[in-house]
A and B are shown apart, each in its own frame.
Chain A
């Protein structure tokens, strides 16, 4: 087959899922001529598993992506069909926005944005090889059709397509997600070039026709009456929301599953890939939690433009007939018509320890990696990495330092630092408990943490920056006002009693009242007639900042401590093997990881605090040596 040179790009992105889309948009918006390829354009930004975006930790990621100037928050705000703020009773750091997405509309929206983006070229095509020069630096990509595109940097975001293999009962066949064609040749060629790959696995439940379900036997689940947008660019969103439905498995369901579990591909030994513990199949749940009497099932609409419903909670790789049998034991599902069976899918991915904190491969220059290819799971995790890979590919081409969000600045930082420093043995999912500084990394202040950074990179727009400044100023002015407005016992005690709050003996300020656990900014409106009309985003910030000022301050001082080591940058070319005072194991680990900061070095397993102390002394020695100050 003749090779056909069809153009030169700065950056080529392989895969147009959630990682690929953010990567390509970031690169193009930062001025690079960018190519994004998908095996099938119908797969662009497709939600192959659950029709939902956000949730604990994940919602935080979406807010951070948005603050930096990414697309996910804007896209979901336009296409959600139900919205809920979770965890409102458990505290502001774990408030998490979760939406039901219309997956067809989401795909169309994202595809439209890609198509309209200047500098960005979206094409259908299967990449079969990446071309490197003699210095193992990316040079171009080869397509199945013989087309060759030159590219100075490549971002791999292959999701579950790479050597994808679907399992349903004893049937298994090479396939990408949802019956799309897999990417096999690319996997073989990457391995041939010396890129180590491994197998992970995930699964998805069946889709059923809505008209075959009896919702009168289920409990409807509605969205919040007031919709909180994901994007800081949006203020009020009003939309007709659609409900989801809750039902439960029962003893009969479990009996059917137990009796047939030997038919599941999961237990038959065919699957070698590692699946996530937090996303177990129903046969796994029934086996491991035998004494649990019932499991939840949420029936969720896939889209307003289809009758298909997603059966959340019951992913499986049992044979199709068994699937139908056990689903039909569930109240409301007695007559269910499956239109797409549940399946497990195995795919190739990389060990994230092989990539650096800027998501560039350790051995191959200008080869960036993102999303499930890096061993993560989830749309939001993928999008976050895609955005960062896109940004860092551009910076690399521009000869600039990498853009790193550290663990105290965002969940994005926690996610990437965990992956590349600690590695993972299963598809990695973000969780609020993975963050050390959760009280500061809230979803309400993602803009404060990241908008300026996004703006400096040229990603966050002028409009976003102006809006951010306005919200910030509003929040500051209102915080000051609340601290200055005094209320007296006589004027306020009736109100306090009415809200079961202790009456006052002396004058106090509105800010002091707001600190009471039972008080909210909204409740206080009754006794605060002069308050200005504020953006919702400003109100969220004010509330948390005043209520939890002390605790947040404590965490900020911990962050200050953390930053000391994080801000000490390390030259990746440091010759660790020759630093005598560091133990051999630690020297080897440091040489392998090439950490970019002392903080990152301290998190590598096998590097002790004493090693870090010696490293600090060594650095100072080097510094003085260079300045001739000995």
Chain B
């Protein structure tokens, strides 16, 4: 039998935690198309469908489908169904093992139409498509059972109460709209106020804004869960090592130590107010006039791109050097905190001058030798990570991939409903999208609509003959 799956599923198929290599796997009819949409071979070339030979390794980058930014350097291969593990079209993307990288790639797959795999779903498909022999059927069942019983499919728990409430509120707003649309369509001859396009639009706009905020938080949430990448940059002897040591000293919770092998970087995992932070020290940046050293700049550039936040150390007792200026160019428009270090010495470089160069950055005065300004630094980093507004622990953060996927799908429905409303399309069509968004949010909080809508309609409106 062949199940002829209609969905394309994706998941990280290597174990969680830092490892050298990670794999994202996709299976289903659109696996190849999604992959081709994300992949760029060296030189930024897209891979043509006819050149995507099965079982051939491709080297290149996975791009963020929205920004076009490279997410990671990857090795990939495609297996054409039925000659694959699942007997469906299957794509494997091998990338660097960091969770951030894996999650970003997985997320990119979702954005192009894949959905998160259910527990044991690859194996289930393999079995249903005849790729796994009968003897292992029980094992397949155990796998499905074990994973789902462990709570993969479980909706938001109490621990995430705030998020749950937040989504509930959103869902309530959608419900209100569904109710008004439904009652208007279901009871055309009742003595009811007709719902207008203006009303629908206003309500949808509000829901959409709120929804976008939640999605924004989901990004922050992911960072908190998977670690936040902070890269320290600056010319030699400006105090980078001291800064690193400060974090290590203050936060004794060192998780791993990964010496940079291919890059001239050092990574340290620390915990900052309970948030895992990966600190990267870009050693090896020298004078940029030397062509060989230019490579160093290139490497820092890579580190820059991967960083969620950059710490830029400058020597405040000296004017900005050429290297500093080169770095400033790279730091333009990035999330960046500038440390005017050596504040114990007579100052030459002022905060004002720095601001004129990097207007978006936060600028702090520190002295690593005297240990001043470092509390402010920790605070500022925490603020940046949590987005300032979402600092407190009880605030809303969406961290689960499945939840983010559902939120995003709901958001698409809302946007579609909104655009249809603006065009004054038929209300019964608009309702379908609103209803879909409502149901998707229900999947996050574990509420299935059932008769909820009708219950409410009959309790609120006086209907019937």
- Residues of A near any B CB (own CB < 8 A): 49-50, 56-57, 86-87, 90-94, 96, 205, 276-280, 285, 288-289, 292, 294-296, 298, 312-313, 315, 431-433, 438-439, 517, 548, 551, 555, 557, 560-561, 564, 580-581, 608-610, 613-614, 616-618, 620-621, 623-625, 629-630
Q: B462, A292: Cβ atoms under 8 Å?
A: yes
Given contacts A439-B428, A439-B429, whether A432 and B185 have CB atoms under 8 Å apart is yes
Q: Which of B173-201 contact A (CB under 8 A)?
A: 182, 184-191
A92 partner, pick from B140, B424, B428, beta carbons under 8 A: B428
Q: Which of B443-465 contact A (CB under 8 A)?
A: 453-454, 458, 462-465
Report the nearest A residue to B432, measured CB to CB: A439
23 contacting pairs across A/B (C-beta < 8 A): A91-B185, A91-B428, A92-B426, A93-B426, A93-B428, A205-B465, A279-B465, A280-B463, A285-B462, A432-B428, A439-B428, A548-B429, A551-B432, A581-B138, A581-B141, A581-B144, A613-B118, A613-B121, A614-B141, A620-B128, A621-B137, A624-B130, A630-B135
Given contact pairs A56-B188, A610-B119, A613-B120, a sample of 20 additional A-B residue pairs in the complex whose CB atoms are under 8 Å apart: A56-B185, A86-B188, A91-B185, A94-B428, A205-B465, A296-B190, A431-B454, A433-B453, A555-B432, A561-B6, A561-B7, A564-B6, A608-B148, A609-B148, A617-B141, A620-B1, A621-B137, A623-B1, A624-B134, A630-B135
Q: B141, A618: Cβ atoms under 8 Å?
A: yes
Whole-angstrom distance between the Cβ of B351 and the nearest chain A Cβ: 55
Give every chain A residue within 8 A of B78 (Cβ-Cβ).
Answer: none
In the assembly, what is the distance between CA of A439 and CA of B149, in Å?
Answer: 36
In the assembly, what is the distance between CA of A294 and CA of B462, in Å?
Answer: 11
Give every chain A residue within 8 A of B353 (Cβ-Cβ).
Answer: none
Give every chain A residue within 8 A of B426 (Cβ-Cβ).
Answer: 90-93, 517, 548
Q: B185, A94: Cβ atoms under 8 Å?
A: yes
A613 partner, pick from B5, B133, B144, beta carbons under 8 A: B144
Q: A433, B182: Cβ atoms under 8 Å?
A: yes
Give every chain A residue within 8 A of B127 (Cβ-Cβ).
Answer: 617, 620
Q: A295, B141: Cβ atoms under 8 Å?
A: no
Q: A288, B137: Cβ atoms under 8 Å?
A: no
In the assembly, what is the distance between CA of A93 and CA of B427, in Å?
Answer: 9
Report the nearest B residue to A426, measured CB to CB: B458
Write the B218-257 contact mask toward A (1 if CB under 8 angstroms, else 0). 0000000000000000000000000000000000000000
Give every chain B residue within 8 A of A86 (Cβ-Cβ).
Answer: 188-189
Q: B133, A614: Cβ atoms under 8 Å?
A: no
In the assembly, what is the distance between CA of A86 and CA of B429, in Å?
Answer: 16
The verdict on B83 contacting chain A, using a C-beta distance below 8 Å, is: no
Give every chain B residue within 8 A of A624 (Cβ-Cβ).
Answer: 130, 134
Q: A90, B124: Cβ atoms under 8 Å?
A: no
Give every chain A residue within 8 A of B130 (Cβ-Cβ).
Answer: 624
Report the nearest A residue to B142, measured CB to CB: A581
Whole-angstrom distance between the Cβ of A546 and the nearest chain B Cβ: 13
Give every chain B residue within 8 A of A581 (Cβ-Cβ).
Answer: 138, 141-142, 144-145
Q: A625, B134: Cβ atoms under 8 Å?
A: yes
Q: A438, B188: Cβ atoms under 8 Å?
A: no
In the assembly, what is the distance between CA of A87 and CA of B429, in Å?
Answer: 13
The verdict on B379 contacting chain A, using a C-beta distance below 8 Å, is: no
In the assembly, what is the distance between CA of A280 and CA of B355, in Å?
Answer: 71
Given contacts A431-B454, A439-B429, A630-B135, whether A580 and B190 have CB atoms under 8 Å apart is no
In the assembly, what is the distance between CA of A581 and CA of B127, in Å?
Answer: 15
In the assembly, what is the distance between CA of A279 and CA of B121, in Å?
Answer: 46
Give every chain A residue within 8 A of B118 (Cβ-Cβ).
Answer: 609, 613
The 5 closest A-B pairs by CB, nearest first: A91-B426, A91-B428, A581-B141, A630-B134, A610-B148
In the assembly, what is the distance between CA of A315 and CA of B454, in Å?
Answer: 22
Q: B462, A433: Cβ atoms under 8 Å?
A: no
Q: A433, B188: Cβ atoms under 8 Å?
A: no
Give every chain A residue within 8 A of B423 (Cβ-Cβ).
Answer: 517
The verdict on B322 contacting chain A, using a C-beta distance below 8 Å, is: no
Q: A315, B465: Cβ atoms under 8 Å?
A: yes
Most buried by B among A90, A285, A289, A581: A90
In the assembly, what is the distance between CA of A555 and CA of B436, in Å?
Answer: 11
The verdict on B69 contacting chain A, using a C-beta distance below 8 Å, is: no
Q: B429, A91: Cβ atoms under 8 Å?
A: yes
Q: A433, B186: Cβ atoms under 8 Å?
A: yes
In the assembly, what is the distance between CA of A87 and CA of B184, in Å?
Answer: 9
In the assembly, what is the distance between CA of A315 and CA of B4, in Å?
Answer: 53
In the assembly, what is the distance between CA of A279 and CA of B464, in Å?
Answer: 5
Report the nearest B residue to A285, measured CB to CB: B462
- Residues of B near any A CB (own CB < 8 A): 1, 3-7, 118-121, 124, 127-128, 130, 133-135, 137-138, 140-142, 144-145, 148-149, 153, 182, 184-191, 423-429, 432, 453-454, 458, 462-465
A432 partner, pick from B135, B186, B462, beta carbons under 8 A: B186
B465 partner, pick from A90, A313, A548, beta carbons under 8 A: A313
Whole-angstrom distance between the Cβ of B421 and the nearest chain A Cβ: 11
Given contacts A433-B453, A617-B144, whether A90 and B428 have CB atoms under 8 Å apart is yes
Q: B464, A278: Cβ atoms under 8 Å?
A: yes
Report the nearest B residue to A294, measured CB to CB: B191
Report the nearest A residue to B439, measured CB to CB: A436
Give every chain A residue within 8 A of B188 (Cβ-Cβ).
Answer: 56, 86-87, 90, 96
Q: A609, B153: Cβ atoms under 8 Å?
A: yes
Most buried by A among B124, B424, B429: B429
Give every chain B residue within 8 A of A94 (Cβ-Cβ).
Answer: 185-186, 427-428
Give every chain A residue within 8 A of B133 (Cβ-Cβ).
Answer: 630
In the assembly, what is the distance between CA of A288 and CA of B185, in Å?
Answer: 23
In the assembly, what is the distance between CA of A580 and CA of B119, in Å?
Answer: 18
In the assembly, what is the distance between CA of A224 and CA of B7, in Å?
Answer: 46
Give every chain A residue within 8 A of B137 (Cβ-Cβ).
Answer: 617-618, 620-621
In the assembly, what is the distance between CA of A276 and CA of B457, in Å?
Answer: 13
Q: B3, A621: Cβ atoms under 8 Å?
A: no
In the assembly, what is the distance between CA of A624 and CA of B127, in Å?
Answer: 11
Whole-angstrom distance between the Cβ of A238 and the nearest chain B Cβ: 24
Most buried by B among A557, A560, A616: A616
Give every chain A residue within 8 A of B453 (Cβ-Cβ).
Answer: 433
Give every chain B residue within 8 A of A625 (Cβ-Cβ).
Answer: 134
Give every chain A residue within 8 A of B464 (Cβ-Cβ).
Answer: 276-280
Q: A616, B458: Cβ atoms under 8 Å?
A: no
Give every chain A residue within 8 A of B3 (Cβ-Cβ).
Answer: 564, 616
Give every chain A residue within 8 A of B428 (Cβ-Cβ).
Answer: 90-94, 432, 438-439
In the assembly, what is the distance between CA of A517 and CA of B141, in Å?
Answer: 51
Whole-angstrom distance between the Cβ of B169 and the nearest chain A Cβ: 23
Q: A295, B185: Cβ atoms under 8 Å?
A: no
Most buried by B among A49, A276, A610: A610
In the assembly, what is the distance between CA of A564 and CA of B454, in Å?
Answer: 28
Report the nearest B residue to A57, measured CB to CB: B186
In the assembly, what is the distance between CA of A453 and CA of B185, in Å?
Answer: 29
Q: A50, B462: Cβ atoms under 8 Å?
A: no
Report the nearest A residue to B190, measured CB to CB: A296
In the assembly, what is the distance between CA of A313 and CA of B187, in Å?
Answer: 13
Give every chain A residue within 8 A of B427 (Cβ-Cβ).
Answer: 90-91, 94
In the assembly, what is the distance between CA of A432 and CA of B134, in Å?
Answer: 44
In the assembly, what is the distance between CA of A629 and CA of B185, in Å?
Answer: 54
Give every chain B residue within 8 A of A285 (Cβ-Cβ).
Answer: 462
Report the nearest A residue to B140, measured CB to CB: A617
Given contacts A613-B124, A614-B145, A617-B141, whether A56 and B1 have CB atoms under 8 Å apart is no
Whole-angstrom distance between the Cβ of A168 and the nearest chain B Cβ: 18
Q: A87, B185: Cβ atoms under 8 Å?
A: yes
Q: A289, B462: Cβ atoms under 8 Å?
A: yes
Q: A517, B1: Cβ atoms under 8 Å?
A: no
Give every chain A residue within 8 A of B120 (Cβ-Cβ).
Answer: 613
In the assembly, what is the distance between CA of A170 and CA of B120, in Å?
Answer: 63
In the assembly, what is the distance between CA of A623 and CA of B2, in Å?
Answer: 12
In the assembly, what is the distance between CA of A629 and CA of B153, in Å?
Answer: 33
In the assembly, what is the distance between CA of A618 and CA of B465, in Å?
Answer: 49
Most buried by B among A94, A555, A581: A94
In the assembly, what is the distance between CA of A616 and CA of B185, in Å?
Answer: 39
Give every chain B residue within 8 A of A433 (Cβ-Cβ).
Answer: 182, 185-186, 453-454
In the assembly, what is the distance between CA of A90 and CA of B462, in Å?
Answer: 21
Whole-angstrom distance between the Cβ of B71 and the nearest chain A Cβ: 29
